[in-house]
Structure 1
Amino acid sequence: MLLLSACLLAGCATLLSGGLPLLQLPPAAFGGERVLEQRLTMRWPGETRTLDVVASIDDERVSLVGLALGVRLFSLDYDGKLLRSSENVKMALPAERMLNDFLIVHAPLDALRAALPNGWHVNDSARRRVMQRDGKDAIIVDYSGDDRLQGRAQLANLPLHYQLTIDTAP
C-alpha cells in the first residue's frame, strides 16, 4: 500500500510474501472529502526510505500519489472494489499492500472491521490499533493524538518485519 511505497526505491524483495488481500472498504466510510499530505519513512532490516504522499479522499474514491524529490513515483486510485495503479518506477511491492496500509492506519474502526477477511480481527484503544491474524498480533499502529487523520502514526508489521512512520500535515 501507499505506506510501503518507500520500497519503490530499492531493496524490498523480502517483504513480498504474506499480508492481507485487498480490503474492500468503501471510500464513503471516511465521512467526506479530505486531502492529506504525508511524509512516510519506512524501515526494514538494513534499509530506511522516505517519500511524500498526497492522499485525496471523497465518497467515491481514495487516490494516492507518491513523490520522491518532487518526482511522481506512483499513483493509486481505489473505488472500494477496484484498484487502478500506475507507476513511473518499477515497484518492489504490490499496490494492494500500499493501499492496505493506508486503510489500516486511517479507516474508521467499524468500516475496517467489516472489511477484514476471516481470521483477522482489529481492536482499538485510545491511541493504538492492533490487528490480529488467527489470534496473534500482526500489525500494530500507534497514534500521537486522538485524530487519526492528523499527526504521527507508527505502523509495525510484525510478520513482514517493517515499520512505517507516517507524519500527516495538519
Structure 2
Amino acid sequence: MNAWLEKALCDVAADATALRTVFPAVGRRVGRTVADTARVELLKAAPGAAAEMPGLYRYGDAAEKRAVLHALSVVDIGDTGVELVADALRTNDTRLVAAAMGEYAATHLDAPAYRHGVLKCVFMGIPLAAVAGLDRRTDEELLRMLRDFAAERTAAGREVPADLRTLLNEQDG
C-alpha cells in the first residue's frame, strides 16, 4: 500500500475532519486509476465520515463526488445520502449518474426517484448493469416507462440499447 495512503488512513481514523485535507489530494498521491477505491477506504476508516460526506460531495470535484456516491453503500449516512443521489441525477455527467444508482439508491430512493434514475441511465447510454437493484425494484410503472422510451426510439429510427431490449424481453417473456 502507498505510504501516503497508510498515513492518511491513520489520520482520518483519528479525526474525520482530516478528510477535508486528504480527500482532494488522493488522485495526486495514489494515482487516478485507484483514486475511487482509496477515497472509499478513507471514508470507511473515518468514524465520523457520515457527517463529512455532504461537504466532501458539495465542495468536491467530479472525482471526489463520484467517490462519495460509491461510499454511500458502505458508510452509514442514513437518509442524508438521498440528497446527494438526487443532486447527481440532475447532472449530465455519466460517471456521477452511474455512481448515484448504486446499492444505496436501490435501498433508499422512493419508487418515483428510483424510476427516474433508471430512465436517466437508459437515456444517457449508461449500461443497466451499473444500476443496482433492478431485479427487485422493477415494477409495472418502470416497465411502462422503459417500453415507452423504447417505442419512441424505434419510431424515431434510433437504436434501442441492447440491455434495455433484453430487460424488456425478460419481463415480457
Shorter-chain TM range is under 0.3
User: Which of the two has greater helix per residue?
Assistant: 2
Normalising to structure 1: TM-score of the pair?
Answer: 0.26
Normalising to structure 2: TM-score of the pair?
Answer: 0.26
Which of the pair has more CA radius of gyration? 2
